[in-house]
Amino acid sequence: DTGVSQDPRHKITKRGQNVTFRCDPISEHNRLYWYRQTLGQGPEFLTYFQNEAQLEKSRLLSDRFSAERPKGSFSTLEIQRTEQGDSAMYLCASSPEAALNYGYTFGSGTRLTVV
């Protein structure tokens, strides 16, 4: 297993456009997390899945953001009507259910620039 994969690595989009990112977790990990990180800050939790169920979503998350994990494997994060404030690194992480025996494995992230 090569770890957590995220695609694309970089995305530049015009304000108002929709964007979708993909995350492929480690295959035996049933938990998947999305985070957002802006420059000079720690990651900010967005949402997480256990298998295909979205169990928690940050209250800070706008309705323009939606995430899916339809078959409990890969996940997509969509941002509708992007705004300049959405520019950030979007990180995906996965873990086995007993995550807290270890840590989360993070992908390399998708850097979004909204112009």
Task: Please give the single-letter amino acid code of residue 78.
Answer: E
Nearer to another protein, 63 or 98 (CB): 98
- Judged by beta carbon, residue 18 or residue 41, the one nearer another protein is 41
**What is the nearest approach in angstroms of another protein to the Cβ of residue 16?**
27
Sign of the CA dihedral with 105 first, then 8, 114, and 65 last: negative
Closest distance of CB 22 from another protein, Å: 17
- What is the smallest separation between the CB atom of 43 and another protein, expressed in angstroms? 5
Closer CB to another protein, 14 or 28, in the complex = 28
Judging by beta carbons within 10 Å of its beta carbon (0-12, 13-18, 19+), is residue 87 exposed, middle or buried?
middle
Q: What minimum distance in Å lies between the beta carbon of 1 and another protein?
A: 15
Which residues of this protein are in contact with another protein, per CB under 8 A?
33, 35, 40-45, 48, 56, 89, 91, 93, 100-109
Q: Which two tokens stand for residue 30?
A: 């049933």
Beta bridge partners of 56: 48
Task: Choose between 70 and 100: whose C-beta lies nearer to another protein.
Answer: 100
Q: Is 9 exposed, middle or buried (0-12, 13-18, 19+ CB in 10 A)?
A: exposed
